[in-house]
Structure formats: structure tokens, C-alpha cells
Structure 1
Amino acid sequence: MLSQCKFERAFLQPRHWLTWFGLGLLWLLVQLPYPVLQLLGSFLGSASRPFLKRRESIARKNIELCFPHYNDSQREKLISENFKSLGMGLLETGMAWFWPDQRVRKWFDVDGLHNLQRAQANNRGVMVVGVHFMSLELGGRVMGLCQPMMATYRPHNSALMEWVQTRGRMRSNKAMISRNNLRGMVGALKKGEAVWFAPDQDYGRKGSSFAPFFAVKDVCTTNGTFVISRLSGASMLTVTMIRKADGSGYRLHIAPEMANYPQDECEAAAFINKVIESEIMRAPEQYLWVHRRFKTRPQGEASLYV
């Protein structure tokens, strides 16, 4: 089922007032000039670090595992920049949901839009492989302004936040599809749609293979990319958006269509992880390192987060 965007009177009940207050505060903050938002985002991210010790521990472990050649100073710098990026990501969510199109367009440029247009030629579906950068919400809004598409997602536990995020995400896109709705994804691709799908998180042992990711040998990797590709016959390419190093906004990168995608499930998992690694290295400090990417381990192997 595609996500619907319907307001309910129950959202006005007192139990939701704190959520409304937070959303209102976020709306007010993102009215500030973009250079001020950059400074504020970095400050909020750094200030949150003492209160997010568990997340800091997860990020540190992920970085140690992925980049064993980094020394302590390099790791600390990456973690520090990652938390600044985390704070900016909160404000970018507000920018994605509340900014008018004209203001969003002012702060990004695109590299490779012709790659997506070529892949969609002759009404062929395109699986857009995404990566969980902190600017993901804004990246989806930007992508929709270039060429509206559909996206897979995990429905929010809060009905109010489900309405808010769906309304925000559909300002420039076509529809949201639950990541468990395989039939919906395949059907959309067979109709020639572009559908965003992010295979870079740990979705559990079911429907996954273990494949290398950076310096970690066995990483639980969803087979969803392989299954959807085989069932739909869609072309595949990556789309990622990162903040420019000079602070002048964002660049949306649309890669050429993937070639030589493996026909074997396990080889395909290793292949897609290599693709994701390459995208992460565009701006590793902006990636979602606070996610427990290595939570699921091979049978009998101890947790890496103890």
C-alpha cells in the first residue's frame, strides 16, 4: 500500500501538543538565513554529543571497524564532524519539509541528471540506490525537484509524525512505499517509475546475505536490491546528495547506470556494498555512523557492540 497523507482531528489532542511545539520550533528555526543555519546546525550537533553517549559509542565502533588504519586523532576528528553533521541533518529535515521550492533551488546543483533520464528511456523503471547521509530528507526533496519519483521507507510509529513526514516528502515526489511492500515496489518499477531504495542498513538476518563492507568481512546486507532488480528488470544507479565543503550549499550526484551487476545473490550483496562504500567516501563525515550497521552477526559470533 502507498502511504496516504490524511490529516486526522485526533492530531489536535493534548497528547500531541509537545510534538506540535517541536515542529513549530523547527519551522521557526529554518526561516533563518542558510549561513546561520549552518552555524546553528554544527552547534546543536556538538552540543548534543554529551547527551548521546550511546550513539557516540556506536559511531566510534563503526569507524574503528571500517577504518582500522585511522589513528586516534583521525577517528576523533571524524566523530566530531559527524556530530556536527547530525545537528545540521535535523535542520535539513525542516528545510526539506517547510522550505518553498524557490528557496530549495537556490542552494543546490546537480551532477549527472542525464544519467537518470537515459536510464528511464523507453519507459524503463529505475531502482535508485540511496545512501543514508545526514542530509537524506533534503536530498529527497531536491531529487523530486529535478525529477519526481517514489521512495521506500519505514512508516513512523507516530500517526502524527507519519502524516507530517509523508506530507513533507511528497511536496516534490510522487508516493511513499513501505519497504515491506515488495509487490508495490516491483509494480511501480514495471510501470517505468523511478523508485528510491536504500540497502545500506542492517535489516536483520531474514532476506539477507553476509558480505564485506569496508574492512568488516561479514556484514548483514539485504538481498532486497537483488530480488527487486530480478523481478522488475529495472536499471540501477545511485543518487546521493552531500554538503559542499565550501559551505555554498549541496551537490546532488547521479551516477551512470550500473554495469555488470552480478547474477548471484551473495555476489550481488558484495557488489552493492562496494558501490555504497564509494558513495560514502564522497563525504564520510556526513554519513549516518550512529546506526548499528553491524548489529546482526553470523550464527554464533559475538556482538561487535559489547
Structure 2
Amino acid sequence: MSSNQEIHAKFTQDLLHPRYWLTWLGIGLLFVLVLLPYPVIYQIGKGLGLLARKLIGKREETARQNLKLCFPHLSDTEREKLLRDNFISTGMAIFETGMAWFWPDRRVKKHSKIIGDDYIKEVQKNGQGVLLIGIHFLTLELGARILGLSHPGVGVYRPNDNPVMDYIQLKGRLKSNKYMLERYNTKGMIRALKQGEIVWYAPDHDYGPKNSTFAPFFAVEKAATTVGTKILVKLAQPAIIPFTPKRDSKGRYVVSVTPALQNYPLEDEIAAATFMNKAIEHEILKAPEQYMWLHRRFKTRPPGEQSLYSDDVQND
């Protein structure tokens, strides 16, 4: 790691220790599988997702509860179909991650399309930084690679506890990023934005009570929402641009870039969180079956309020 805390992938001999051989084997298998024709990859991913649904019951209940909380207007049948499709996308996410890390540029371009990237170009013409809102779609890893082919930026990530996975993750993500920053490196993000860079940022998960406020998210009145967005916008004054990577029915990945959000309410913390959640909702609705519903989005509750999850899904 350099003095300014930019993170780059660095291979060391320690990564070849026998304790990591199983990890290398898994990575090698993924590398081989994503060499297959896309229709075959999709069928394997679909099967894996449906199998996972049977094996990880607690996660299934988490996703089902999230859908019930967010979309109470849907019937049980509609939510169950959405849940099934979501598990198919969860299985595909493993292979889409491998595609993002291992596919050559030409194959990525063959299966992808970008809509609205002129919005990014317009902002950067003026030297303004871009806070790119990378919502946690299951296709996010591949979407970042696709957009990064024409708009490389600065990635924000959480280091993996397994050093081999961390190395492979970094090496893969650096195909679409200039360098990476740890997710708590706010100073590094502000510096990059002030330098006119694109910074990938995902404010849609529940990151706990610290540095969060409660704001509406879909039909949930009080969802823990990071205040980090407000800090970055206030100090670096970037354009806020969401983007959504969506897999279509023909196996093509369409990355849609939204025009820069206007009138962000800096003066009020809750209003700012509400504003951002509304923007995130708008993007999720473009492909709700491809969003990461397995995350316990509403695990943090205001003091004195009961958990929104039953006892059998308390462990995240």
C-alpha cells in the first residue's frame, strides 16, 4: 500500500502456501467454467442458484422477508416468483464475477451495452468528480467491469479475509479501476473526487448504527442508511450518478447510467438519506429480481424497536 493508501494487487510467495491450495483450486475451476459458451454458463448458474435455495434456508427466509417488507402490495405468488428468479440471479452472480475477473475485453464487449455514459463524459469535461452509485445488484461486479472499460475509476472495497481471494479480487477489479481504496478511507475518496476521478460507492446496504441515520426505504419507514454520501458530497462536491447493470433475457448485460441527481439536500441528514434511498429504489425497480435481497437490509433498528426478522434469521 502506498503512502496515499491506494491499493494495488501484489502477488507474494505466501499465497502459494498449502493452506490456500483449495482456494486456488476453486478459482481455477471458476476460470475454466467461464470459458464455456454463455448459454451453458447460464444453465449452470441457474441450477446452482436453485440448488442454493434448498441448502441455505435462513438466507431464503431473509430474502423472502425483505421482499415482503419492501413490496407489501405484491401477492404471495408474485413475491415467490420474484424470490425464485432472485436465486437464479444469485447462482449466476458467481459466474458473472468470474466473467468480470477473467473474460478478455473483447468478450465483455460482445455481451454488453452501455446506455447514458455521455452523462459521465459531460461532468468530467468540467473536471468535476463523479460519485458513481453502484447499487448492490448481483450483476454489479460485471457491470463495473463493463463501465470501467470506457470509464476507469477508483474502486471502494472491503478486503477479503482470505489473502488469495483478496489478491484475485483486487487483480480482477483493477481491470476496470485505476486503483482501489478501503471502504472506510473517506479521505482517499474525497481526494480522488476533488481530482476529478470517478469513485464507485454503494450506499444501499445496512452498515450498522455507526454513521447511519434512519430513513424510508421502499415500504419500510425506518431503514438504517449511511450518512457517508452526505459527507462525500459536502466536502468534495461531485456529481452523483447512479448506474444499473441489468442482465436481459438474451444474455446481454445492459448498463444504464442515470443523469446526475439534482438538488441533493445537504442541509438535512434525514432528508439527504431519504433522497438517496429514493434514487436507489428507482434503480432497483429496473431489475428487482437481480438485486441482492439476501442481505439483511433492515437488521439495524432504532433503539427500542423489535427486529424485523424472525429468530431463525438473526445471524447474518
TM-score, normalised to structure 2's length? 0.95
Structure 1 residue ranges without an equivalent (≥5): none
Q: Give the equivalent residue in structure 1 for 2:209.
A: 205
**2:38–2:251 contact (8 Å) kept in structure 1:** no
- Measured in 2, the distance between the counterparts of 1:2 and 1:79 equals 38
Give CA deviations for 1:88-141 in whole Å, capped at 9, x if unaligned. Answer: 000001000110001100001111010011111221111001110101111111
Report SS of the residue matched to 1:288: coil
- Measured in 1, the distance between the counterparts of 2:243 and 2:164 equals 29
Q: Give the equivalent residue in structure 2 for 1:302.
A: 306
Q: Give the equivalent residue in structure 2 for 1:145.
A: 149
Q: Give the equivalent residue in structure 1 for 2:314.
A: none
Deviation at 1:48, TM superposition (A): 1.3
1:96 aligned to 2:100? yes
**What amino acid is aligned across from residue 177 of structure 2 in structure 1?**
N
1:187 to 186, 191, 201: 191
- Measured in 2, the distance between the counterparts of 1:155 and 1:248 equals 30
Deviation at 1:172, TM superposition (A): 2.5
Structure 2 residue ranges without an equivalent (≥5): 311-316
**What amino acid is aligned across from residue 69 of structure 1 in structure 2?**
H
Deviation at 1:248, TM superposition (A): 3.6
Report SS of the residue matched to 1:21: helix
**What amino acid is aligned across from residue 11 of structure 1 in structure 2?**
L
Report SS of the residue matched to 2:177: coil
- Measured in 2, the distance between the counterparts of 1:119 and 1:257 equals 8
The 5 A counterparts of 1:197-276 are 197-244=201-248, 246-263=249-266, 264-276=268-280
The 5 A counterparts of 1:142-181 are 142-181=146-185
1:125 aligned to 2:113? no
Q: Give the equivalent residue in structure 2 for 1:115.
A: 119
Higher mean Cα deviation, 284-293 or 48-57?
Answer: 48-57
**2:241–2:260 contact (8 Å) kept in structure 1:** yes
**2:24–2:164 contact (8 Å) kept in structure 1:** no
- Measured in 2, the distance between the counterparts of 1:154 and 1:84 equals 25
Q: Give the equivalent residue in structure 1 for 2:313.
A: none
Deviation at 1:81, TM superposition (A): 0.3
Task: Give the length in aligned residue pairs.
Answer: 305
Deviation at 1:143, TM superposition (A): 1.1
- Measured in 2, the distance between the counterparts of 1:120 and 1:238 equals 15
- Measured in 1, the distance between the counterparts of 2:161 and 2:244 equals 26
